[in-house]
Structure 1
Amino acid sequence: MEEGKAYSPCGELSVWGAGCLPVLRPFEKLSQVVSLRICAEPPLFWVPQRRPLIITAWVFERVVLFLAGVFAHLEMLEARACEAATKKEETERQEEKLARLKARVEELRLQRDELQAKVDLQQKRQLGKEGVASAPAQPSAQAVLEWKIRSVEAMLQVFYLTGISGKLTKLGVCFCISTAYEGTYLDSYYLDLLTKPEVQIHRHSVPVFIPLGQIAKKYLQTDIRRFLSVLSDHLNAYAGRRYQADQLQEHFSDQIEGTLQRNSLCNLLVFNYNVLSKRKTFLFNVRLLYGDLCCSLPTEVVISCTPDAPASLAETAAAHSDLFRRVALHKAFRSFSSAEENMDGAP
């Protein structure tokens, strides 16, 4: 190469004039200074070396593509972080709302008990006055019946605050027990009671597997408030268990292997689901037993895995078992899915 000349990356010969040359010190020869170009663009910078350095457009394109991939990955991580933060905020809001509703329910129950105590006290005083005015003998059957009717009327308004409402009928009173689970209203059941000559069940829409007869035998004649409260607990627990199973089948059917088996009372659930471990899928078999029929969470959880599963899955099974006992079934599976997504997104 002649002094004062250099070849550009595109192969063209560039000749520098005296006015466009950079300061040559400490270089003694013009051939020691090479201009780096991309095609026919002006020189980008000067690199001192003995031989011309050629950077092709192909190399530059690869660098740009690499940087674009890095930026795209960073954007994906940022989107995942935003989505996780949004889900966390929504969960916290729901938990706060649920806590407020639970506190409100407890407050209303206390008010109900106070009102009922006042009603009972007034009725006893009224009966005492009537007994003194008429005779010291026992109250008549008609007086007792009227007292029961007044008691029922007073309870209708009180029970309305806890999901139990009712209205008087020609033969007695008809109650409506509404069920809900975690703020979601579910089914309503009706109970028609006769008050003459004694309180008894005339007709109802309570499922046959709910122990209505046992509850009525224990509480109906002695404490109707307790009777309705216990019956409501049974119905709400049943509705909650059924709701969890339905949510599991609806939203996590891709993780369930086969059919979810359950009995009519939904106090026994058996199903299989897939678990990802070290990029391999293993099958967990689950048996949930709800020993307390007034509770929507299982009292016994048994999880088993296939014989070829690694020993590390035993810890996973124990963690899943503990979660099934503490949170709703569909929420537990939502936690499993979030954990697997975090593992997949980890470098």
Structure 2
Amino acid sequence: MEGEHNSDEKESALRGRSPTTASQDGRGQTSEVPLAQQKVEEGKVYSGDGVLGYLEMMEAQAHELSLKQEEKEQQEKKLNRLKARVQELRARRDELRAKVELQEKRLLDKEGAVTDPAQPSAQAILEWKLKDVRAMMQFFYLTGISGKLTTQGVCFCISTAYEGTYMDSYYVEILTKPEVKIQHHSVPVFIPLEQIAMKYLQTDIRSFLSVLSDHLNAYVGRRHQADQLEEQFSDRIEGTLQRNSLCNLLVFNYKVSRNSKTFLFNVRLLYGDLCHSLPTEAIISCTSGTLPLLAEKAAAHSYAFRHMALYKAFDSLINA
């Protein structure tokens, strides 16, 4: 009976215990640790390593972003400093430019006065102006503009031509001392010389001469066309050709024959651009009929007058 009782106790003890595994402690002794407990502890260690790695990665990224943000802020501060420096230098430049202009004006007002060697003298400025004038004379040589130096400035000669034929020459004498201005000229009074001078003479003498030359060449071109029309086609013009001094308005009548009938056309040419020798507007009307064919012919004549020299257009129209 006692043996059976001991056997039952051993079996009961074996059923109540979990599987174990042997391990050694720090003293070299072997101890038994339940297998389930070991697996739980291993899981905890593995999970802890993953969280720590993730946190370390996040910390590294945050540090990198912090460095980039700091670098960006430094660049912005540097850019702002550079912009402020640029503004400061521009203000300084404008201040120095104003001082130089004021000094040059004083030098011109006080001719012959002793000045700072670092600043140009009045004589040096005058020589610079004369040098610029010589360069301009060379520049305009092939455009019909020539000139020669005088004791007080320069005298320009503007030669005009139309379709390769020399027409007239006009002279403009310009003073360069103490200030640039026109002293004498032979430009016709109806040419807007004063307005051209006010716009260009003090700041851009090349543009002044170029624009004045355009006005003069256009004027002689319009005048030449009107003269040729009267000389070559006096038998086809009814009455007198009317024109003003600038020749930017021409009015005349001419006869047109069609189907054994003669019609009288009236033409009014307006030259809106004084720098060109062709009209900007040609108004033609028939005083002796209103047939559709006459209106069509008038339109064709208007186009010809606006795109060809006056006497050439007239010749092509009457021989059409």
Report the TM range for the smaller structure's normalisation: 0.5 to 0.7
Is 1:145 the counterpart of 2:126? The answer is yes
Q: Distance in 1 between matches of 2:117 and 2:258?
A: 80
Question: How much identity, in percent, do the aligned residues show?
Answer: 76
User: CA shift at 1:248, angstroms?
Assistant: 0.2
Answering whether residue 311 of structure 2 is matched by residue 330 of structure 1, we say yes
In structure 2, give the amino acid aligned to 1:288: L
**Contact 1:179–1:235 at 8 Å: present in 2 too?**
yes
Length-normalised TM-score, structure 1:
0.58
What do residues 180-216 of structure 1 show as CA deviations (whole Å, max 9, x unaligned)?
A: 1111110110111111101110100000000000000
How far has the Cα of 1:166 moved from its partner?
Answer: 0.7
Tell which structure's C-alpha radius of gyration is larger. 2
Deviation at 1:140, TM superposition (A): 2.7
Among 225, 235, 255, the alignment partner of 2:206 is 225
User: In structure 2, which of residues 249, 271, 280 is the aligned counterpart of residue 290 of structure 1?
Assistant: 271
Contact 2:222-2:278 within 8 A present in 1 as well: yes
The answer to whether the 8 Å contact 1:177/1:232 transfers is yes
Q: Report the equivalent of 2:293.
A: 312
1:133-282 mapped onto 2 (5 Å cutoff): 137-282=118-263
AA of the residue aligned to 1:155 = M
* Partners of 2:182 and 2:119 in 1: CA distance: 27
Structure 1 segments (4+ residues) deviating >6 Å = none
Match of 1:304, SS state, is strand
Aligned residue runs from structure 1 range 73-92, under 5 A: none
Alpha-carbon distance in structure 1 between the residues aligned to 2:277 and 2:198: 24
2:277 and 2:317 map into 1 onto residues whose CA distance is 20
**Alpha carbons 1:282, 1:309 under 8 Å: kept:** no
Number of residue-to-residue matches in the alignment: 206
User: Quick check: 1:166–1:176 contact (8 Å CA) kept in 2?
Assistant: yes
Structure 2 Cα separation of the partners of residues 138 and 265 of structure 1 = 48
Give unpaired runs (5+ residues) of structure 2.
1-114
- AA at the equivalent of 1:326: H
Match of 2:140, SS state, is: helix
1:190 is paired with a residue whose SS is strand
Calculate the TM-score normalised by the size of structure 2.
0.62
Choose between structure 1 and 2: higher helix proportion.
Answer: 2
Indicate the residue corresponding to 2:94 in structure 1.
none
1:169: Cα distance to partner?
1.1
5+ residue gaps, structure 1, are 1-133, 340-347
Q: Tell me, what secondary structure is at the counterpart of 1:297?
A: coil
What is the CA-CA distance between 1:305 and the residue it aligns to?
A: 0.5
